[in-house]
A and B are shown apart, each in its own frame.
Chain A
């Protein structure tokens, strides 16, 4: 058992050194770009009044979920907060169904009843989409409890934010997860801020990856802007869980480029801070550089991918606009199973 920090600022991986294939890099590039373009489109539709309420974009954090999804097998589960669009796209849910849920239409994953924060897919083992900060953490441990009970080797990825990491129920879940050796990976997406509160303003114990040690859970801090580093850390954590050794904590150091939700003026950080992250740490640019730098792909190939992604996203926006509102009779359905 250990807690380690792979100093995020210097840990950027080199494509060649890690022997990563062209196909693999292109897959990451495509998946991260899909999330980014999708989220930009969602922001635009919000601006046009087609999406309402809260809408939390995942732009900047793409490498976390794409890197970890690369470690999964069929049967593995995932659960997260309201900042969930990226997780859904990365686990293979359709852009059309996600976008149509954002516009509150019949073609959405919850048939328009859930909205941006509340989508689910049994088929893809995606358990939400939760609006109460921290609530998904014991739920994730519970999904792992069921897998352990049934005796399979599935793993549950339980995602939560740096702000959520202070909720008491997180530590209740840690204790039981270790006590009962539950196969759950607690993924802390540390994007530096919980709404307007920086990590430093919410705790003096800022090494979030080390907070499981008191319960016996190993933890690791990872450069969450580097998809290859995420993947490597994810593989180790998954192996630990599948071997029946209990839970694992991964603290992903990442950054959200946009405000907390659409109505956040983000006065708690400087424009320079955001621009510096974009310029120096961008996850998509990193993979792009690896591909071009190692001569694994040329500009034209990447342009073609950009175009494909744009088409998928535009089609999802069209679908989300064309899909009808749910029928009025839906008001009273689905209250009970």
Chain B
């Protein structure tokens, strides 16, 4: 019976891909485990192995075709003597699979949209009016930031797992080994505590290390050095031993990777005096703030997000631009309520603001960008105007950034509030793997919309 081989999903986030090359031709016999094609995903070119055995009856999608959707039939396997045009075995699996793919794509925020996000607010204060802009992904912005700073300062170097020859587990360091060589782009063994301690020592010894954690989940192996060695020593040494180092990598929930690999450490690190903590949303902020972080004489924890890496934004096309710490950005001005967020939380915030605008509620959206030191003034000024506030983040609710903001607003702007501050966060549970539960565990746009309506008594 003929079997249709379907376009495979080859990464947690892949929805379509390019059929780069066929390694079999019509008439060839195929064995289970044989590599039959090369398929390009957003991140890499992957080899695709056959599971079923048979003869290649018909190639349904020609080599070089791009935009082939996951689960589209790409090749028909037949048995000897069978007609290649015979209808394939009814694949009951296919309907189920399509449902599953739809379910996977359903948490709209988790699926990467490649369309550029338009800047709704008026001219940015971060660069001069009339600055030419270019579109780039957060991934490219981070790479450019590191490359520019490495060109400018020979003491800047990058260290971490798979940053060099593999070109980065998430391809943030792609090309850096070629340009800067193995002395400055250092592949480490899987020994986070050791290489983090080594990097702290190297910083005291006169270098400006960038430490990449493959994801921040693994920074827990090294958190002692981040807190006890890097953050506290300037103070303990009476100001003698500042530690110019950047700890960066993917933070927060990715897609379907379970409890040990999905956690937002924003509030954890932001609670530590001696650290600076940055969590950008847009590509421009990722670039400008990472350059700033590399130049800063203090340890900076720089929290990225895997789901944001492929997202495109407008970035100023300037030879050298930085964004100062402790300056929030107002993405959208409004009069009825303020949403304060940061990092990927901005997606929910901006989506909610769009939806609320249709209901006639004008929302001001503030992106904190830097979590320590935090730009309280921008937040408080906005609340003096709108008198209502909702805080949004993906992390756990207890002892969250949102709790800290709510408490600060209560202490410093109580008389301006017309409603209690509401916090919208991830749920108080370890991240479940099941698709339906994962969706519920994350903060949702609907929850943000409901919270804003509630503070507006609507």
Contact = CB atoms under 8 A, between A and B. Distances in A.
Interface stretch (A11-19, A20-28, A159-167): A159-167
A326 interface: yes
Contact of B104 (A52, A168, A330): A52
A321 B161 CA distance: 36
Nearest to B45: A265
Contacts of A112: 432-434, 437
Contact of A330 (B51, B189, B258, B437): B437
A53 B12 contact: yes
B32 interface: yes
Interface of B: 6, 8-12, 14, 32-33, 35, 41, 43-47, 49, 51, 70-71, 93-94, 96-97, 100-101, 104, 161-162, 165-166, 169, 187, 189-191, 193-194, 217-218, 220-221, 254-261, 427-430, 432-437, 440-441
Given A195-B162, A196-B166, A335 B436 contact: no
A115 B93 contact: no
Contacts of A124: none
A44 B33 CA distance: 11
15 contacts: A48-B71, A48-B101, A49-B100, A52-B104, A52-B256, A53-B12, A53-B256, A53-B258, A53-B433, A54-B257, A113-B432, A166-B189, A168-B193, A195-B166, A196-B162
Task: Specify the main secondary structure of chain A where it touches its partner.
Answer: loop
Interface string A295-321: 000000000000000000000000001
A324 to B, nearest CB: 10
A152 B23 CA distance: 56
A173 interface: no
A194 to B, nearest CB: 6
A132 B218 contact: yes
B172 to A, nearest CB: 15
Given A196-B162, A325-B434, A325-B435, 10 more contacts: A49-B101, A50-B100, A53-B258, A103-B100, A104-B435, A113-B259, A167-B191, A257-B33, A259-B46, A326-B437
A43 B441 CA distance: 27
A325 B46 CA distance: 30
A233 B435 CA distance: 42
Nearest to A114: B433
Contact of A53 (B43, B220, B254, B430): B254
B229 to A, nearest CB: 15
Contacts of B47: 265-266, 271
Given A41-B51, A131-B260, A48 B100 contact: yes
B29 to A, nearest CB: 17
Contacts of B10: 47, 262-263
